[in-house]
């Protein structure tokens, strides 16, 4: 069982790193040639989900230390600051994107809800298997 637990921790760390890279690339790369589907609020939902899973993946990757409240707070603060930095970089480094305060709110709300989502999954399912 310890081997499975160790492998799952490494997998979550891998997913967390890949997810962080995915957010960075998706936020800073020009996607003008990709066909767009116009769904109102879709952009904010994507921001919300990006940062929701950002916190969930990093929380599972660091779940041994997550029992300490300071680690959960650090993950949430890091996700929010990371989202702000990405928005600023969109304005500075790209010509096709611009920073949006509502994106920052969607990112932050996703990060906070990711924290609660992690706890729901952790205590209902994850502890039973690991």
Q: Which of the residue ranges 30-34, 60-64, 91-95, 110-114 would you say has the lowest mean pLDDT?
A: 30-34
- Going by pLDDT thresholds of 50, 70 and 90, the confidence category of residue 4 is very low
Q: Is the model's pLDDT at 35 over the cut of 60?
A: no
Which of 125, 97, 96, 107 has its CA nearest to residue 55?
107
Question: pTM of the entire structure?
Answer: 0.80
Task: Give me the percent of the chain exceeding a pLDDT of 70.
Answer: 73
What is the per-residue DSSP string for 70-117? HHHHHHHHHHHHHHHHHHHHHHHH-SS----HHHHHHHHHHHHHHHHH
Average pLDDT over residues 46-69: 82
- Is the CA virtual torsion 99, 102, 107, 111 positive or negative? positive
What is the per-residue DSSP string for 34-46? S-----TTHHHHH
* pLDDT tens, residue by residue, 79-129: 999 999 999 999 898 888 888 899 999 999 999 999 888 877 776 665 555
- Is the CA virtual torsion 69, 70, 75, 81 positive or negative? positive
Query: What are the helix and strand counts (H, E) for the chain?
Result: 6, 0
CA distance 24 to 63: 23
């Amino acid at each position: 069982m310890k081997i499975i637990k160790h492998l799952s921790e490494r997998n979550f760390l891998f997913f967390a790193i890949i997810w962080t890279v995915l957010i960075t690339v998706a936020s800073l790369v020009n996607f003008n040639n990709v066909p767009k589907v116009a769904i109102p609020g879709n952009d904010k939902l994507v921001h919300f989900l990006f940062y929701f899973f950002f916190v969930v993946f990093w929380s599972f990757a660091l779940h041994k230390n997550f029992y300490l409240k300071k680690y959960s707070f650090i993950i949430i603060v890091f996700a929010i600051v990371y989202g702000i930095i990405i928005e600023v970089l969109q304005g500075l480094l790209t010509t096709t994107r611009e920073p949006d305060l509502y994106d920052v709110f969607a990112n932050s709300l996703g990060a906070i809800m990711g924290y609660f989502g992690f706890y729901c999954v952790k205590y209902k399912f994850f502890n039973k298997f690991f």
